[in-house]
A and B are shown apart, each in its own frame.
Chain A
Amino acid sequence: MLKMVVCLKQVPMVSELPWDPRTGTLQRDLAEGMMNPACRSALEAALRLRAAEGGEITAITMGPPMAEEVLREAIALGADRGVLLTDRRMAGADTSVTSYTLARAIERACAGFDLVLCGFSTIDSETAQVGPQLAEELAVPGVAGIDGIELFGRTVRMRRLSDNFLETLEMDLPGLITVATGENALQHVPLGGLQAAFDGADILTLAADDLGLDPERIGVKGSATRIISVTSPTAAKKNLVLTGAPKRIVEQLFERFDDKIGGAIGRDLKTEKAK
């Protein structure tokens, strides 16, 4: 039986980000959460493998208590159970510490796994680092950014486009893959799954002490990197707003930005040519 683990991250819903209009910064605490799109692709890849090969899927996430929502969503989509890692001391972890924490939880809650699937990157921090670092932590072979997977017994064959090279790779299980956001159609949510997600969903909640983690090695304390400032370049952008009649706007555009626009197309746009 194929034992799969899908790592999920809850990220702020980007289409409805509550930006502070004054400072231009994101009010993260007000943001609605959603399942990171690439993590969803990873879950879909796992569901397809299960449909073809059988097996079971454990969804795991690390985050504040509300991150349980993505586990319920995963269960509604067909995952068999969820594992929620939540502990204030785990907050502020960089990618290396995140992978350390996830690895210890996977070893505890999903011992004997065959395949770990992660999203290639998240839309909030966009590092694409947790997957490869998790492979290191679990000491299994791993491949990032795959867009096709097939299983032949205990061997996984994967395809990916990497820096303009189309690669076909193989590894033996257990292993880890990160899945790129594809054009995968949204899963049909089976009603049974929905019901399972809300009554008696099998969700295991773990804190640092349950895993015997050294508090010095997790969260912000364990992280090697420090964020010293966060700014919003777009908020600082001075932009010129033009309104009024279209013809007048276009004339102003050409007059004031001939160096930029005319420059890019190699034309003088300030003056009309005589017919």
Chain B
Amino acid sequence: MSANKQAIWVFGDYRNYFQNRVTLQLLSRAKDLAKKIDGEVCAVVFGHWTDEWVDDALSHNPTFCGVVGEYIAHGADRVYLTDHPRLSAYSMETYALLMERLARREKPEMILIGATAFGREFAPRVAKRLGTGLTADCIGLDINGEGLLVQMAPSFGGNLVAEIVTPERRPQMATVRPGIFQEIPHDYVRTGEVVRVPMPVDLPADRVRLVRVERCPQREQKLEDAKVVVCGGRGLGSRKKFAKLFELAELLGGEVGATRPVVYADWAGHDALVGQAGKQIRPQILFSFGISGAIQHTAACNNARFIVAVNKNPNAAMMKRADVAIVADASQLCATLIQELKKRIR
């Protein structure tokens, strides 16, 4: 492989592998971007037992093994790997130092990092150490006419999207929201180069000590994963009227979400809260009843693919971001919708 090729790096964030697909999604997008700059795609992996399949229980930590092969199968041309027992649990300072040193040596053109909780803390540290720019939680990436990485970053809960570039400093860095890009199907015949990077001998101990870590019991993510969500706000009028949403959700095979005022009024439990302090949803269809659309709520609905909003006030923020805005009494329309659905599906 040509040493002069511009490289797009993807940080191998493999913790929680089966749920966390963002690394694979980034490898896929990096492949498309690499074509535009005639570059190559590299994954960077720090861990222990990352290049073979080992039973989870043996590695005494909740990581997934065998990721090196997975990354090649999903599009990496090369994998930089530091494998060491000290890396068997994620550790911020150590990982940041390893990434900094590797990037100084290899000079990648871009580094893409999944916007997981770890990635969003790791990336700014690496960018700071390398003295370069970083765009947070991107929802789009492209290459412009000058060959620069265009990073699309949402702000104000997705009400604004800024296009950001890093014109001079290198690498160009971005964290990318999970679920934006599609991973490509794995190809286990595909080959790639594995570059083993030895663990530095002078690595200082991490000043933050991990005392305990436990994997949360697999939470039921009914609301987060629901294809159909029916959300209600204070505009429904009363607890009794809000309760009709459960009937509607059942007819639609969906889940019920609520806004903060509704949760405060105890019309719905806290686990139904859709918002900044609650759940992020990404249904195919979102029905929104009597919700004005405070930004803390709409930000959590951004990934809904199709929004039907009902509100008496046509100027409510939720109505502006809906695909279909129904100007009507929310409770009355909910009742009619239930009635009409019953005629069609029962």
Contacts and interface: CB of A to CB of B under 8 A. Distances in A.
- B partners with A: yes
A240 B323 contact: yes
A34 to B, nearest CB: 12
Contact of B328 (A128, A227, A243): A243
B285 A261 contact: yes
B212 A168 contact: yes
Interface centre among A37, A125, A129 (most CB of B within 10 A): A129
A239 B128 contact: no
A129 B227 CA distance: 32
A163 interface: yes
Interface centre among B116, B209, B214, B254 (most CB of A within 10 A): B209
B160 A249 contact: no
A263 B253 CA distance: 12
B60 interface: no
A19 to B, nearest CB: 8
Interface string A234-261: 1101011111001101110110010011
Interface in B41-62: 62
Contacts of A163: 15-16, 20, 116-118
Nearest to A269: B344
A188 interface: no
Interface string A155-173: 0010001111111111110
Given A14-B296, A141-B207, A167-B212, A226 B340 contact: no
Interface string A80-120: 00000000000000111001000000000000000000000
A13 B174 CA distance: 28
A74 to B, nearest CB: 21
A128 B136 contact: yes
B232 to A, nearest CB: 16
A231 B160 CA distance: 6
A251 B39 CA distance: 52
B337 interface: yes
Contacts of B344: 254, 267-269, 271-273
B213 A165 contact: yes
Nearest to A170: B209
B191 interface: no
Given A123-B156, A141-B207, A224 B166 contact: yes
Nearest to A15: B294
Contact of B136 (A126, A140, A257, A266): A126
B216 interface: yes
B321 A126 contact: no
A14 B295 contact: yes
Contacts of A124: 155-156
A237 B15 contact: no
Interface stretch (A131-139, A196-204, A207-215): A131-139
B253 A265 contact: yes
Nearest to A160: B117
A264 interface: yes
A26 B314 contact: no
Nearest to B227: A264
Nearest to B209: A170
B164 A227 contact: yes
Contact of B164 (A132, A143, A164, A226): A226
B159 A144 contact: no
Given A163-B116, A253-B308, A183 B207 contact: no
Given A95-B124, A137-B128, A229 B162 contact: yes
Given A164-B215, A166-B216, A263-B284, A133 B155 contact: no
B15 A144 contact: no
Contacts of A234: 158-159, 320-321
A101 B287 CA distance: 45
Given A26-B159, A247-B336, A181 B276 contact: yes
Contacts of A167: 210, 212-213
Contacts of A253: 308, 324, 326, 337
Contact of A241 (B252, B276, B296, B325): B325
Given A25-B160, A167-B212, A254-B340, A125 B322 contact: no
A129 B134 contact: yes
A186 interface: no
Nearest to B340: A250
B320 A123 contact: no
Given A129-B134, A225-B135, A264 B228 contact: yes
A25 B51 CA distance: 49
A30 interface: no
Contacts of A246: 328-329, 332-333, 335-336
Contacts of A232: 159-161
B265 to A, nearest CB: 16
26 contacts: A17-B156, A26-B160, A95-B136, A99-B128, A123-B276, A127-B124, A127-B153, A132-B125, A137-B128, A165-B215, A167-B213, A168-B213, A224-B166, A239-B320, A239-B321, A239-B324, A241-B319, A241-B327, A257-B306, A264-B283, A265-B227, A265-B253, A265-B285, A267-B344, A268-B344, A269-B345
Interface of B: 15-16, 19-20, 62, 92-93, 116-118, 120-121, 123-125, 127-129, 131-137, 150, 153-169, 207-216, 219, 227-228, 252-254, 276-277, 283-285, 294-296, 306, 308, 314, 319-329, 332-333, 335-337, 340-341, 343-346
Given A128-B120, A133-B124, A246-B333, 7 more contacts: A24-B320, A162-B118, A163-B117, A165-B214, A165-B216, A230-B162, A257-B308
